[in-house]
Structure 1
Amino acid sequence: MRITNFALLLLMSGLSGPLLAATTAEQIRNATLEFLDNFASEQAKEGYTVSFEPGSIDNRLALAECEKPLSVEFSGDPWKSTSPSMLVACEGTRPWRMFVTASVSIHGPALVAARPLTRGKRITGDLLRRQSVEVNASRRGVITTTDQAIGMQVRRGINAGSLITPDMLSAPNAVERGDHVIITAKTGGFSVRSRGKALANASVGEQVLVENLRSSRTIKANVVAPGHVEIPM
């Protein structure tokens, strides 16, 4: 007697218990949609509009059933890519992980040049204006608040209306070669000050070689403010 494949499947399931349940492509898609919807809601509170669409998932996909809700997180930065990937994972007794791509567009305010900016120009408020842009279309990032730009120096020419990205600006020198500076040496709650001369240009947070004018010794110090350097003891 011939046994059909379907009958054989029923026979096998009867002998070995019920067929194992599976996580379907639809369940994975629903989890990514919920995650992206929550992301969009969070960004809306900050003034950004997010539109999204998860990538296609093969409907034939059948992974082990997950007794816990699927976890979803970005594995790529959605602020620097319009096609970030998401990691979908099951943390149950039969764990698995997979990646799903998505199309994500984030629109919101960013700073653009109000007029042409030449190299070396110090940024002031009147040189900037806000404009709604697709923030994540720039892989170099964007500048969204004026306090991130004001006081910075233009590294290369910027055309009027161009989006200002962090790599276009640099911190101005807080000390320049030949400047007289105040050297502070600190240890615990005790500090000693002396006068020195900078031997190179440096910004706040950078190290610079300084000549102590009293001892003529050359020392390495941290720039903490314009005209001020510090040596930890």
Structure 2
Amino acid sequence: MFKIFFNPTRQMPTALGLVVVLCFTLSAPTQAVAQADGGKPEFIATTQRWLDNAVSNIRPAGAAPLRMEVAVGELDSRLRLAPCARIEPYIPVGTRLWGKTRLGLRCLEGSAKWNVFLPVTVRAYGLAWVVQGNVAPGAVLTEADAIEAEVDWAEEASPIVSNASQWVGQVASRALATGQAVRQGMIKPAQVFQAGTQVRVVAQGAGFQVTSDGQALSAGVVGQAARVRMDNGRVMSGVVLDGRTVRLEL
């Protein structure tokens, strides 16, 4: 009988992206490990239960509870693992329980210590905004470009954009097709003015605010920096607030 050992103080992921800072190398034991029905090692079923529990509380920021599913793959058929009385699962450094990933398994009590990696696929189903119709690169997204539908949030590494206000008015950074979930890597802020545009400059400091006019020396994108020449000829840099306003922090 195999036992799965779990130390909750260092192994259980409590949020998306948590990783464990332990990693061991793969050993090469030669003895055969006991097999359960179907030819799989007995500890695979216990590992499945451990993973189901580990992902049950994963919830990306801003997301409603997701329906989590975990599919455990198979070990390399060429491996011959020595019998082990206590096996510890762990998350390898640089990985997370999200999408196509892997889980480490190491023998703590056995005739030969071993360490292997088990392929795992984590799926996280929930509502998200999904593109309807084709959207050309550079097109400004409107509310009509996406509808809500259930998708696998973990299908791609780029985070889902869950709030419509965060993508409506943004620009498609590449061609988008029907059925794609709206993700951060697909959109970028829209340009709201060109170089040479007359803009209003709002200078803010401790307890005061001054407004003046200036000329943009670079294109303006909401939330990003733009250079402005003031009426006195001085060149300043500030953050673009909207189609004609740049804020300077003094």
- Whether these two folds match at TM > 0.5 is yes
Aligned twin of 2:52: 37
Distance 1:129 1:145, change over 3 A: same
Aligned equivalents of 1:182, 1:99: Cα separation in 2:
61
Q: What letter matches 1:76 in structure 2? A: T
Q: Does 1:206 align with 2:221?
A: no
Structure 1 consecutive aligned stretches of length 4 or more whose deviation exceeds 6 Å: none
Aligned twin of 2:241: 224
Distance 1:131 1:228, change over 3 A: same
- Structure 1 length normalisation: TM-score? 0.66
Aligned equivalents of 2:244, 2:80: Cα separation in 1:
62
Aligned twin of 1:156: 174
Secondary structure at 2:135 match in 1: coil
Aligned pairs for 1:1-233 (under 5 A) are 26-28=3-5, 33=48, 35-43=50-58, 46-53=65-72, 56=75, 59-60=81-82, 72-73=90-91, 75-79=94-98, 81-82=99-100, 84-86=101-103, 100-101=117-118, 102-212=120-230, 214-233=231-250
- Structure 2 length normalisation: TM-score? 0.62
How far the C-alpha of 1:172 sits from its partner, in A, is 0.8
Count of residues in Structure 1 that have an aligned counterpart in Structure 2 = 198
Larger relative contact order (Cα-Cα within 8 Å, sequence gap ≥ 6): 2
How far the C-alpha of 1:228 sits from its partner, in A, is 1.9
How far the C-alpha of 1:207 sits from its partner, in A, is 1.3
Give 5+ residue unaligned stretches, structure 2. Answer: 6-42, 107-114
Contact persistence 2:55–2:97 (CA under 8 A): no
Q: Sequence identity, in percent?
A: 17
Aligned twin of 1:20: none
Distance 1:72 1:215, change over 3 A: same
Greater Rg, structure 1 or structure 2?
Answer: 1
Q: Which structure shows the bigger proportion of residues in helix conformation?
A: 1
Give 5+ residue unaligned stretches, structure 1. Answer: 1-23, 90-97
1:108-131 Cα distance to aligned partner (Å, 9 max, x none): 333222112123322122210123
